[in-house]
Structure 1
Amino acid sequence: MRHTTYTYAGMVLGLLAAGSAQAQSNAGASALEEVVVTASKRGGQLIQDIPITVQAISGDRLQETGALDFNDYFRLVPGLSVNDQGPGHKTYIIRGISSSGAGTVGLYFDETIITGEFLSSEGGRQPDIRLFDMDRIEVLKGPQGTTFGSSSLSGTIRWIPNAPDLSEFSAEIGGTLSSTKNADFPSWDVDAMVNIPLVADRFALRLAATVIEKEGYIDTRFAEDVNYDDSEAVRAMLAFQATDNLLISATAMTQESKTGGRAGHMDLLIDLPASSSLNGGAAPSDHWNNTLSAEPFKDNIDLYNLKAEYSADWGTVTATGSILDRETDFFRDASAEIEIITGLTFPADGTGQTTIIQPQDRKLTQGELRFASNWDGPVQVLVGGFTQKEERHFQSAVLTTDPVTGKVTDDSIAYLDRLVDTDIDEVAFFGELTWQATDRLAITGGVRWFEFDLDEIATAVTGFPGTPGSGPGNPLSSTESDTIFKFNVGYDFTDDVLGYATFSQGYRAGGTNDQTAASLAGVSIPAGFGSDSVDNYEIGIKSTLMDSRLVFNAAAFFMDWTDIQVLRRAIAPGGLQFAYRGNGGAAEVTGLEFELTAYPTDRLQLGATFGWTDAELTQDLPVADDGMDGDALPYVPEYSFSLSGRYEFPFLTSIGGMGFIGGDLTFQDDQQNRLRPTDSTYREIDSYSVFNLRVGVDGEKWSAIAGVNNLFDEDETTAYTFNGNSQPAVGYVPPGEVRPWPRTFYLSFRRTF
């Protein structure tokens, strides 16, 4: 068993638990409320009253289902999928829009942008926020560029934490113990929260923390269960009602996550001729990764936000500023690639053990000022300005590793080492005007103007293979500005049925290509690449029927994706392929989504979601072998659906208990990981389904739940990892195969005060 030392989160959890134990009980249970979201930036609105496609998952549902991260809820949202390479190495995909470059889905923690970069052909290292003390998760589908800016190309995901309560003290503590098939030890997690009104109705502090130790199930020659996911996080929030109209709030959060290896397992071992350690054969176990170097990953996120909201009868002025500082340490085995490229002419010791390290420090400083009107009369406006500065320091190096531990040591030799420093300044102005033409008809027009200024310099510290580097390269810079638009019509057919039609645009900024890296490889590549964009045409309906016992929402959409940012390849002397980013090709996505929630009785709740997506290229990529007209976009299931149910019944009523049984079934259709079957890394991904079941008791101030996730232990491959297949093949380099998390039994208990 791993012995993990927990620092700040463990200390805070201890303090919160002590606070919980001393808390006074308060009577009364919370009543069911309609879902309120802030997706439109116009303040809180009922989700059924907003004429856009947005789905919300409540904090209560996240708690009941034991959700800890993205993998625990994404299948419940039609049109949302993922390329999962393991903890901390995910690419989020909405409605099929995904490619190399920056993220195509905008990620926000409340007001703070946290969208990550795509730093490899295998996907992006997008942050995975741990789910504790959450109010809800909002998933906005379709381009959200006018209000949420760059990288909301296909949609936006927002994590919304519970806000401080100014009026009442409260506390909560909960924990889960679980057992996963093929893991050697049990997993556990614990979280706690305390809300303290420091000055009644004026000033409150909310503290929350979690510690998660999730055991893995993949073994390597260096260790067992390496794909564990250990995290600790602390969040502090302050709210100050300075006047009846002015609310000032502050958030500080830190999250540390780490894993010992990626989630892919191999059925066969690597078979390459030059090294006896890569001699092929059957894998020694069903969940084995034949990595010759250790592949740990660490992800540290520090987030700070300050927000002031001034609300009056005429509207709300919001000023918000944020700082996001994210440091990642990424290691990936490069042994197979080095042998393929060099025939094992180095390292000199003949072990062939090398790793690619890619540490990155990324700091975002953001600010936004906006006004949302609440005027008497038929016209309302939303106007605002946005600024962001990004500073990014990135290293990419190939180093030898210790044959016994697989780790980088002080004696490791560098065969390639380069540094890239990037500064990006962005400024944008946005606005929406809504005209309430009649009591039932509302028309909205939106616009956003943006400008990016990018400066980048790369330094060749060590050339390949192990030669002295040429030092700093020529500074690169680029500037880009544009204007995008939105048009929306909402019509209330009745008080309970809303129809809407939307045209919206999204964009993703362009950038530069590292000329220093290209010169090391001996190739000539373009200096940079431009932005790509999506035009979205959508109609939808939202209905709340039968005295709110039936909720049915549906949307049909068509998306036109142009100037796609793609991974291009240049052929260097000797046949080495060098990857860079360019623009080319076009794609269209047509789809249909619906969600239904029904309450046949007061005790029974049923739910269903469905998504159909047809996503394919409509124009050849610059190199036809990379993708051609008619190729299906990768990691996009044509069909997906979910079914869920929850039934309550009297149980332990003498102590205020109510029993329940619930479950959900999710299905993902066939898909593939690449555009072209001629690609050596192309793999088809079969359809799969996951069934979760749980039973529990809800008391007035407590709950206890027993459940099983992936009850039937579905083990179909959901994604692939590659080390070496992107180069001309010499022998066989099998991919790693990622599967749904194995069957896991869990027990959880929660107590509120």
Structure 2
Amino acid sequence: MMQGNGFSARAKGVLGRTAALPILSALACAPATALAQDQAPAAAAADEDPRTEAPRNEEIVVTASKRGNVYIQDIPYNISAVGGEQLEKTGATNLEDISRLVPGIATTGGRSNRTVIIRGLAASAGAPQVAIYLDETPLSGVGGINVRQSDLGLYDIERVEILRGPQGTLYGASSQGGTIRYITNKPDTNDFEGEIAGRAGLRARDGGMRLEGNAMLNLPLVQDLLAVRAVGYVRHVDGFVDLPALGLDGTDVEKTHGGRVQVALTPGPDTTITAMGLYQNTELEDTSRVLATADFRGNPVIEPYEDELKLFNLTVEQRFDFGTFTGTFSTYRRNSFFVFDQSQFVAPRWGSINQTGQLDSTSGEFRFSSDFKGPFQVVAGLFYEKRDFEGVSAGYYVDPDEGLPARPPEPFFVQPSEQFVRNSAAFVNATFDVTDRLTAEAGIRFYKMKRRNETELVLDVFGRPLGPQPTQRAKSDGNVKRFQLSYEINDDVLVYGIFSEGFREGGPNAPGLLGNYPLAFDPDLVKNYEAGWKSTFLDRQLLLNGALYYMTWDDIQVAQRDPTGAFVYTSNAGKADLKGAELEGRISPHSLQGFTANFAVRYSDQKLTEDNPLVVGPPPNPNAGREGERIPFTSKFSGNLGMEQKFEVQGLDMFARADISYIGSAYTTFSRTDPLRRKVGDYALVDLRLGVEEGGWDASLYVRNLFNERAFTNWTIESRPGIPDRVLTTDPREVGIQAAYRF
């Protein structure tokens, strides 16, 4: 088994079987959305807030509207949430697990380095299209070309909120497809509590063991005044990838550890001050990309990855009779190390590109959320963000006996670079109760962005001129809007209509590329037209929510390669339409005590509405994307189904659960005739769990990926012919035990 070297050392050294399941219907699944059963904490939170109604125990309370605690069924747009209990009982540890619980969400990329896709908005380049927040901190920042979004540890999380569709007015850039919010459990100034939890699993496909340990401690230092909550977690997952050329097995070992400390100070009943410090480090000793035919790679090149995150946030809330003022300040540093095989450009020798990067981000928001006595309410605020990235991309010849850069290093490419981003915005969102059942809402966000790229070419295998490259700049400003009408037909049925916009920042391309490429690319814009409803029937035994949407996507940011085939730049090209329907529900029959069934389905169609300009060139590329072709890596259908049955045996409270999730097929290219076209998706995963809860203890036996489905989740096609494709697959079947003790 390989041994990890640590981030600093590396950096210095390198610069469909669901039809067979009727017999499982007595088992059950984790609820897939906020229609889940993790309601006691949420209801309690709502009950403490005098602005809410009496608790409705079957619903989660969310804060996505930035207007305090609101029952999810009262929010007139498509939002789902997964509660903390469901995260624990389904063994969810990352973004991919969230995507299995909530249809319409997909992820691409490797572990702890993912791109999130909501409603089929899948671009090949540019900034993220889904904003990710940890409480009040936006985490979507500038990284290296190959560094995407961190995968935060999902332990001691109150809930994960998933907002579908553009959220540009309240959440700004990179929220075109939606927004994901991780809401942590906050310190409790009244009660002492703690938890110790663990998990051990055995994986198929020679995947070894998974071992996890978690701990939480809440200390009320001064009753009703001061509390501290500390969380720690560690995860070790053996690998299943083999490198026969090096005689190594199980190279893709994952090691993750992290934690956070939160301090809450409540100097008065209307004042809350919360500070949080977080640290997380994920180390992958090798990539999980393998050949499509088997779990190995032929080249003797090891591709490690490391992601280290340090974060601090301070949030102050001051409540008055007329509303709440919130001020929040965040800063984080993300160090990344990424290696990928580039032997195709230095044949007959072996070589890899090694990227080290450091992202420093500072952001702040000051906002007011009203609680007026009349029909008019408003949320308004100011936002500022500063992001600086410094990195080095270096190519080294690889020692074929070690799989790592030769010693002493033999570089063939070295390029340090810096990026500077400044983002400021002002936003306002107002609602007006036209009648006691009809509500109108309107919002607008004004933004201004500046970005500067600087780089130097120290060494280059392609013969480009060396030395400092011209500084490249880009700036953009504008606004995005939101309009909404909602109507309560009765106390159990709410309907709504929405127009909303979302955008991504533009920016300059990296200097020093060959060929005729644009020096900068513009923001791209999504417009969303949506109609939906939220409803409960039969004395809340049946809950049914749904939405229909139509979105237009203009000036799409797309990735292009320069004439060398090794370097990527971004340009704006083409338009697309995205149409879809989303439906989710929960059944809790009074006649079957302890039984709950949940389901959710999503159907969508994402197609270009005009040809990509590269179709006609120069030079012409008939596979660049024509009108009517589907956007790559987008599936038309996804869904999940789950059931849970609680029962008693010998005085012990027990439960049985089953999860079934399905992801439809997607393709890697626009054109059906493209020789690089490959199919991903079109698979179903089944999880089972049987558990017991007694006093402060709970334990469960589980099986994840029951049928050991080896399906493709991502496909990498090398840019030069003759190089084997590589794929990312679903994780192997895992059988294990999970237990926790709370005190």
1:299 aligned to which of 289, 292, 307:
307
Corresponding position of 1:650: 648
Partner residue, 2:397? 400
Secondary structure at the aligned position of 1:146 is classed as helix
Sort the Cα spacing of 1:633 and 1:117 in 2 relative to 1 into closer, same or farther, 3 A.
farther
Mapped partners of 1:577, 1:229: distance in 2: 28
Using the alignment, how far apart are the partners of 2:475 and 2:549 within structure 1? 32
AA partner of residue 481 (structure 1): D
Is 2:320 the counterpart of 1:312? yes
1:412 corresponds to 2:409: yes
Q: CA deviation at 1:262?
A: 1.9
**Deviation per residue, 1:119-168 (Å, 9 max, x gap):** 55xx7521111111110111100000000000001101111111111110
Shift of 1:661: 0.5
What is the rounded CA distance, in whole Å, between the counterparts of 2:503 and 2:6 in structure 1?
A: 41
Structure-1 separation of matches of 2:2 and 2:724? 29
| 1:700 is aligned to 2:691 | no
1:158 matches 2:181: yes
CA deviations over 1:344-402 (Å, ceiling 9, x no partner): 4xxxxxxx110011111111100000000000111111100000000011222211122
Decide which of 352, 355, 370 is 1:355's aligned counterpart.
352
- Seen in structure 2, the aligned counterparts of structure 1 residues 669 and 445 have a Cα distance that, compared at 3 Å, is same
Question: Deviation of residue 610 (structure 1)?
Answer: 0.3
Q: 1:534 aligns with which of 526, 540, 543?
A: 526
* Identity across matched positions, percent: 32
Aligned to 2:620: none
- What are the within-5 Å matches in structure 2 for residues 244-263 of structure 1? 244-263=269-288
Correspondent of 1:592 among 556, 581, 586 = 581
**Matched-pair contact (CA < 8 Å) for 1:101–1:117:** no
Partner of 2:719: 726
Give me the whole-angstrom Cα distance separating, in 2, the residues matched to 1:141 and 1:526: 32
Counterpart of 1:455, as a letter, is R
Alignment equivalent of 2:726, drawn from 732, 736, 751:
736
Residue 523 of structure 2 is aligned to residue 498 of structure 1: no
Helix, strand or coil at the partner of 1:165 = coil
After superposition, the CA RMSD in angstroms is 1.9
The aligned counterpart of 2:369 is 372
Instruction: After TM superposition, list the pairs within 5 Å mapping 1:113-124 onto structure 2.
Output: 113-117=138-142, 119-120=144-145
1:103 to 128, 133, 139: 128
| 1:500 CA drift (Å) | 0.8
Q: Give CA deviations for 1:534-569 in whole Å, capped at 9, x if unaligned.
A: 000001101122232221110110010000001123
Which residue of structure 2 aligns with residue 383 of structure 1?
380
SS in 2 for 1:336: helix
Could you say which residue in structure 2 is the equivalent of 1:332? 340
How much has 1:750 moved relative to structure 2? 0.5
Deviations 1:270-322 (A, max 9, x none): xxxxxxxxxxxxxxxx3112232110000001111000000121100000000
Higher mean C-alpha displacement, 125-134 vs 176-185: 176-185
**8 Å contact kept, 1:697–1:705:** yes
CA shift, 1:433, in A, is 1.1
Match of 2:682 in 1: 687
1:627 equivalenced with 2:625 (yes/no) = yes
Deviations 1:638-659 (A, max 9, x none): 1111000000111241xxx301
Tell me whether 1:555 sits opposite 2:547 in the alignment.
yes
How many residues align? The count is 685
Contact 1:335 1:354 (8 Å CA) reproduced? yes
Pairwise CA distance, 1:417: 1.1
Q: Structure 1 residue 571: deviation in Å?
A: 3.0
Counterparts of residues 142-157 of structure 1 (less than 5 Å)? 142-157=165-180
Report what 2:75 is aligned to: 50
Alpha-carbon shift at residue 635 of structure 1 (Å)? 1.8
- Any unmatched runs of 5+ in structure 1? 8-28, 269-285, 345-351
**Of 496, 520, 525, which residue of structure 1 is paired with 2:517?**
525
Q: Is the 8 A contact 2:6 2:283 kept in 1?
A: no
What is the letter of the counterpart of residue 720 of structure 1?
W
CA distance in 1, matches of 2:226, 2:107: 40
2:412·2:461 contact (CA, 8 Å) conserved in 1? yes
Q: Aligned-pair distance for 1:3?
A: 6.2
Q: TM-score normalized by structure 1?
A: 0.88
Deviates more, 1:442-451 or 1:601-610: 601-610
* Residues 92-138 of structure 1, C-alpha deviations (whole Å, 9 max, x = no match): 10011121111011111111111145755xx7521111111110111
The answer for the alignment partner of 1:750 in structure 2 is: 740
Residue among 288, 294, 297 paired with 1:289: 297
Please say if residues 118 and 178 of structure 2, whose CA atoms lie closer than 8 Å, have aligned partners that are also in contact: yes
Counterpart in 1 of 2:420?
423
Q: Assess, with a 3 A threshold, how the Cα gap between structure 1 residues 117 and 94 changes in structure 2: closer, same or farther.
A: farther
The residue that corresponds to 2:112 in the other structure is 88
CA deviation after TM superposition for structure 1 residue 2, in Å: 5.6
Q: Is the 1:116–1:124 contact (alpha carbons within 8 Å) kept by the matching residues of 2?
A: no
Note if 1:183 corresponds to 2:206: yes
Q: Tell me: CA distance 1:92–1:468, structure 2 relative to 1, closer, same or farther (3 Å).
A: closer
For structure 2, the residue ranges without an aligned partner over 5 or more in a row are: 8-39, 44-56, 616-622
Q: Give secondary structure in 1 for the equivalent of 2:654.
A: strand
Q: C-alpha separation between the residues in 2 aligned to 1:619 and 1:332?
A: 34
Give the letter for the 1:592 counterpart: A
Identify the residue that residue 512 of structure 1 maps to in structure 2. 508
Map residues 563-578 of structure 1 onto 2, 5 A cutoff.
Answer: 563-571=555-563, 576=565, 578=567
In 2: Cα distance, 1:408 partner to 1:571 partner: 26
Give, in angstroms, the shift of residue 577 of structure 1. 6.6
- The answer to whether the 8 A contact 1:81-1:635 is kept is no
Amino acid at match of 2:715: Y
Q: Is the 8 A contact 2:131 2:175 kept in 1?
A: yes
Name the CA distance, whole Å, in 2 between partners of 1:474 and 1:118.
21
Q: Which amino acid aligns with 1:369?
A: F
Write the distance in 2 (CA, Å) between the matches of 1:686 and 1:535. 27
User: In the alignment, is the contact (CA less than 8 A) between 1:447 and 1:485 conserved in 2?
Assistant: yes
Q: Which moved more, 1:588-597 or 1:474-483?
A: 474-483
The DSSP-based 3-state class of the residue aligned with 2:459 is strand
Name the CA shift for 1:232/1:577 in 2 (closer, same or farther; >3 Å): closer
2:47 matched to which residue of 1?
Answer: none
Pairwise CA distance, 1:415:
1.1
User: Is the CA contact 2:388–2:420 (under 8 Å) kept in the aligned structure 1?
Assistant: yes
Point out the more displaced range, 658-667 or 30-39.
30-39
Which of 644, 660, 665 lines up with 2:660 in the alignment? 665
Q: Is the 8 A contact 1:229 1:257 kept in 2?
A: yes
Contact 2:78 2:532 in 1 (8 A): yes
Residue 125 of structure 1: which of 148, 155, 166 is its match? 148
Give the match for residue 64 of structure 1. Answer: 89
One-letter amino acid matched to 2:237: K
Matches of 1:118 and 1:583 in 2, distance apart? 20
Distance verdict in 2 for CA 1:267–1:39, change over 3 Å = closer
Q: TM-score, normalised by structure 2?
A: 0.89
For residues 464 and 560 of structure 2, the distance between their equivalents in structure 1, rounded to whole angstroms, comes to: 27
